[in-house]
Amino acid sequence: MSTFDPINDSDVGFGQLKWEKGLGEWNEIPRKLENEQEVQVAKTTSITDISLPTVLARILPGKVSKRPPNAMLGLCFTLRKDMDIDSVVNGGIFHENHDGLVIVKNIRTSSLCEHHLVPFTGTIHVGYIPNGRLIGISKIARLAEIFARRLQVQERLTNQIAAVIEQVIEPRGVGVIMEASHLCMVMRGVEKTTSTTVSTCMLGCMRSNVQLRDEFLTLLQSKTF
Indicate which residue of 125, 160, 182, 205 is catalytic.
182
The catalytic residue among 115, 155, 179, 215 is 115
Three-state secondary structure readout of 123-152: EEEEEEECCCEEECHHHHHHHHHHHHCCEE
Q: For residue 154, indicate whether it is catalytic.
A: yes
Does 98 qualify as catalytic in the annotation?
Answer: no
Is position 125 annotated as part of the catalytic site? no
What gap in Å lies between CA 30 and CA 15, rounded to an integer? 19
A 10 A CB-CB count for 146 gives 21
| Amino acid code (one letter) for 90 | N
Q: Which residue of the set 38, 155, 179, 184 is catalytic? A: 184
Which one is catalytic: 113, 145, 160, 166? 113
Select which of 145, 152, 154, 201 is catalytic. Answer: 154
Helices marked H in 43-179 — which ranges?
Answer: 52-59, 67-76, 85-89, 137-148, 154-169
**Is 184 known to be catalytic?**
yes
Cα separation, 40 vs 66, whole angstroms:
11
Q: Which among 38, 114, 155, 215 is annotated as catalytic?
A: 114
> Catalytic site residue 113?
yes
Q: Which of 38, 116, 155, 215 is catalytic?
A: 116
Q: Are strands 151-152 and 102-113 parallel, antiparallel or unpaired?
A: parallel
Q: What are phi and psi of 58, to 5 degrees?
A: -75, -30
95 given a catalytic annotation: no
Q: What amino acid positions are annotated as catalytic residues?
A: 113-116, 154, 182, 184
